Amino acid sequence: MHTAYNLAVCYIVTEKPNKAEIEIAEFIDCDPTSADGPCLLSTIQLNSENFHSAEKNAQRAIELGCDKCIVANKNLAFALKAQGKLAEATEHFIKYMNASGPSCISGHKVLIELLGGEAADDQT
């Protein structure tokens, strides 16, 4: 993985989102066809309540190959919900779950959370 990507992850862990965004932008410049950069950037932007940009970057990650990635799809759904587009968010996430198959347990938990409920922890 590229150094800028790894630095961005470190900045996220140490709660320095502005520095993380700078490093991810560098990573995206170096590898514009990688879905990892826009996916991570959408996470940072979602956490920073930059919902419009989070939506765009999650969608970009999905277009670049993260279509089966729960992180990009969850980020897109929650960015849409935060912008008052709950129906679109729900429709998108259900479409993702249908493509992922019936064993998408983590997807069911996200859908419950998206709709305002709380998913119970696994009792194993």
For residue 29, what is the domain's CATH number? 1.25.40.10
Structure tokens at 96: 């993702």
Secondary structure letter of residue 35 according to DSSP: S
58 Cβ contact partners less than 8 Å away, ≥ 6 residues apart: 38, 39, 42, 46, 72, 73, 75, 76, 79
Q: What percent of the chain has pLDDT over 90?
A: 49
Residue 85, domain member (yes or no):
yes
Computed over every residue of the chain, the mean pLDDT equals 86
Domain that holds residue 81: 3-114
Number of domains the chain is built from: 1
Q: Is there a contact between 49 and 82 (Cβ–Cβ < 8 Å)?
A: yes
* 32 pLDDT higher than 80: yes
Give residue-wise pLDDT tens across range 71-81. Answer: 999 999 999 99
The half-sphere exposure of 88 on its side-chain side, counting CA atoms within 13 A, is 10
pLDDT at 122: 43
Quick one: pLDDT at residue 124? 36
Q: Assess if residue 55 is contained within a domain.
A: yes
Q: Look at 88 and 68; give whichever has higher pLDDT.
A: 88
Pair of tokens at residue 6: 């790894």
* Distance of alpha carbon 17 from alpha carbon 34, whole angstroms: 20
How large is the average pLDDT for residues 20-44? 92
* Domain assignment of residue 77, yes or no: yes
